A and B are shown apart, each in its own frame.
Chain A
Amino acid sequence: EAGVAQSPRYKIIEKRQSVAFWCNPISGHATLYWYQQILGQGPKLLIQFQNNGVVDDSQLPKDRFSAERLKGVDSTLKIQPAKLEDSAVYLCASKLLAGGTDTQYFGPGTRLTVL
């Protein structure tokens, strides 16, 4: 079974530029998460999708971050414009079921550096 795929693996941009990250979850997984992990901290949930609908985006900075999962499969996370404090690893995870106890499977992450 193929795991969660993310691209690119690394990205370096200057502040005020835009950037997009892509995630392909495990086939058949209805729930998809985007996390931001700043160095030295645990992952912070940005947005959770159930199929193509948003379940929770309470911690997403909506003035600059956006995410979509149009067909309920792949997802993109965009930052426009980027700030220095957005430097972090962006993790995508998916799980089969919507319930609380199901296992989340994580991708390798995209390391973003904003200069």
Chain B
Amino acid sequence: AQRVTQPEKLLSVFKGAPVELKCNYSYSGSPELFWYVQYSRQRLQLLLRHISRESIKGFTADLNKGETSFHLKKPFAQEEDSAMYYCALSGQAGNQFYFGTGTSLTVIP
């Protein structure tokens, strides 16, 4: 069963425009949700996690349990935001880690 769905493989926005990367999940119980990012020629790294309710590099993500979504948002995209973004889910015990297929974001100057 698909645990994490990212419907957009590619997303292009202009610099300064708002950006939203969609993520929907299916999991029984209370999962932990994350966004990971991979910049060109760099390692996969954590961007943010829902439990921290933090804003990293201007990005935020709100967990909507009713819609089972965890969309990533930024009000004003920057060129340096161009990267591959993966939504991920784990069980509360830290096992059963699932990644989505990823969204490649391109910010056009």
Query: A residues within 8 Å of B by Cβ?
Result: 3, 31, 33, 35, 40-45, 48, 55-56, 91, 93, 95, 97-109
Interface residues on B, range: 20 to 34
CB-CB nearest in chain A for B4: A42
Whether A100 lies near B101 (C-beta < 8 A) is no
A11 to B88, CA, bound (A): 28
Q: A42-B86, A42-B100, A42-B102 known; A48 and B43 CB under 8 Å?
A: no
B44 touches A106 (CB 8 A): yes
Q: Smallest Cβ distance from B1 to chain A, in angstroms?
A: 13
**Inter-subunit contact A107/B43 (CB<8 Å):** yes
User: Is residue B74 contacting chain A, with contact meaning CB distance below 8 A?
Assistant: no
> Contacting B94 at CB < 8 Å: which of A98, A105, A108?
A98
16 contacts across the A-B interface (CB closer than 8 A): A3-B43, A40-B9, A40-B101, A41-B101, A42-B4, A42-B6, A42-B86, A42-B88, A42-B101, A43-B86, A43-B99, A48-B95, A55-B95, A95-B94, A101-B52, A106-B44
Interface of chain B residues 67 through 109 with chain A (CB within 8 A): 86, 88, 90-102
Residues in B neighbouring A44, C-beta threshold 8 A: 99
- A56 near B95 with CB under 8 A, answer yes
